[in-house]
Every structure is written in C-alpha cells, then in structure tokens.
Structure 1
C-alpha cells in the first residue's frame, strides 16, 4: 500500500497538458499583475499591495504563494525585527515576461475590436434593439 502512496505523491503535481497547467495558474485575475509589478526590482508585500491597487491582502498572499510554488518568484525572509520579507522574479519568472508582454501588447492593440465585437453580438442577440 505504501508503494501506491508514493506513486500518487509523485504524480500529485503532474498535469498531462502543459498549456492548461500553466494557464490554470497564471491565467487568473492577479498572477499576471503580480509578475508585471515585480519586473525590474525586488518588492515587499505592502509595496505590491499599493502598486497593484485593488487586491486584498488574502488574495495577494495566495497569489504570491502559488507563484512561488511554481517557481516564478522567490520569497526571501530576513532575520530582522520586525522580519523583512521581499519578493522578486526568478529566472523562470523573468523568462515568462517576454511572452507575457506580447500578450499584454496584443490585448492593448485588439481590445477596442473585442469590445466592438461584444457590443455587436449583444445587439444581434437582443434582436437588433439598441442597448442604452
């Protein structure tokens, strides 16, 4: 029976589809913003809170833990009173910035067209009536 437990533990973090595995983690509402905020410099938790803006402490903490678990960021705790904790991108996190910047640029460029398509769809779906 212990062999079965070891087999289960070894596959616990395996996802058969790499794209789904990555997108499930970084495709949430906050992960991309955290990664973008950390580009270029190490930051403390409260600085991240301020710069991101409307994220709760609980959500930022959860997002940072997930990004650390996946190797995108590094959390460093300094033995000071009070303890100082800093976050920065790992090599993996920095390598992700390039494709992420392309995605952000694509979204910026095409967002007006997407909004117009949504408006046109909504208008067609409502039978051509204009929405206020």
Structure 2
C-alpha cells in the first residue's frame, strides 16, 4: 500500500484544496447558508446553490440585491444572479460572478426529486445530532 503524501505547508494545502481541486470537491464548495425561515422549515443550515434558486447577496457592492440564480460555475466556484450585471465597453451586458459564501438562499427550486431526497436525508441526520 502506498502512502498518500500530505504537506504541512499552507501554500501546498491551499493549492490542492482550492486551485487544483477536482470538480466533485469544488461542487461541495458551492454551499450557501439558508435564510432563517428556510432553516426553521427544513431543519438544515446550508445547501448547495443551484440554478433557479433565489438568493440574497449579503456582501459586496451588490449587498441587499435579491434575484434568481441564472448560472452556477462549478469550475470557478461562482454563481451568477439575475440583475447583477455590468455593461462591457462594447455595450454588452454581462453577469458578475458572486462567491456562494456571500449569498443566502431565500427560496429553493424544489423541482428535482434528488434534491428533495437530499434534504430529507440531511434533515434526519440533523435531528439525530440534536437528540444525542
């Protein structure tokens, strides 16, 4: 059995965790906290941001803006929100990428059966943690 070499150097750890991470790892970095109402309703604190979720931006120059997620870029770990745009020099309007840690999910897109199952599963785990 070969040993998996790990480094103590923060720069190398960061390089592997952030810059060279596989896409399935980066997908987990796309989680955002739920609003307080959703937390009480669903019994979980955070979920992965998906297209058509409604989010509230809580940091940055677009703070307070609420809109629908139009695109999720897993490779760049960024979300694009409806109405958060700027005009390029050639006149085109482009969406500004927002890091998912800077948003709060206010409304979920529950059209996917898999997502409902994930929420139920995580809800059960959270209930177990609170009990014991």
> TM-score scaled by structure 1?
0.32
Q: Larger Rg: 1 or 2?
A: 1
Higher strand share: 2
